[in-house]
Amino acid sequence: MGSVVDAPAVVAQNEEVAENMLGGKKVTVVFVLGGPGTGKGTQCANIVEHFGFTHLSAGDLLRAEIKSGSENGTMIENMIKEGKIVPSEVTIKLLQEAMIKNENDKFLIDGFPRNEENRGAFENVVSHLLLVFQYLYYCALPLFASKLSG
């Protein structure tokens, strides 16, 4: 099945956090990575319950923006319909707003970054960010395939 890689030990060792574009708010950010159906949501729920993190799903934030009917939401919807990845800056802005509005200072970000450009853009916006740890979820290929096939 899946596994957590050194997460709690690294959190205990690092106190430096981000503050740049988050209105002076200092935060701990954990990127949750893994393919569809590998249990990211399940593990996020466990981490939220046991460690007090707030779970931010990039996909949920994008869908909420689409539902808002804003000009930005229309652009996002069109890009998704065309099979394109939403520009990093748009997703980062939604994540940034969600982190500022939330009272918590520990965040799990699920579904982002999707590529190296996303990661670099996030680090540029939140330039003082030290990734306190990355949660990597491993799922054996046969289990992954069986989950996707039903």
Per-residue pLDDT of the chain (150 residues; tens, 9 = 90+): 333 333 333 333 333 444 445 666 677 888 888 777 777 888 889 999 999 999 999 989 999 999 999 999 999 999 999 999 899 999 999 998 998 889 898 889 988 888 888 888 887 776 554 444 444 454 545 555 555 555
> CA-CA distances (angstroms) from residue 10 to 7, 17, 56, 113?
6, 13, 21, 20
Give 116-142 as a 3 state SS string: HHHHHHHHHHCCCCCCCCCEECCCCHH
pTM here? Answer: 0.71
Delineate the domains of the chain, giving CATH numbers in brackets.
7-148 (3.40.50.300)
Interval 65-97: pLDDT, tens: 999 999 999 999 999 999 998 999 999 999 989
Q: Using N-to-C axis directions, what is the helix angle for 88-101 and 71-81, rounded to 10°?
A: 130
53/51 Cα distance (integer angstroms):
6
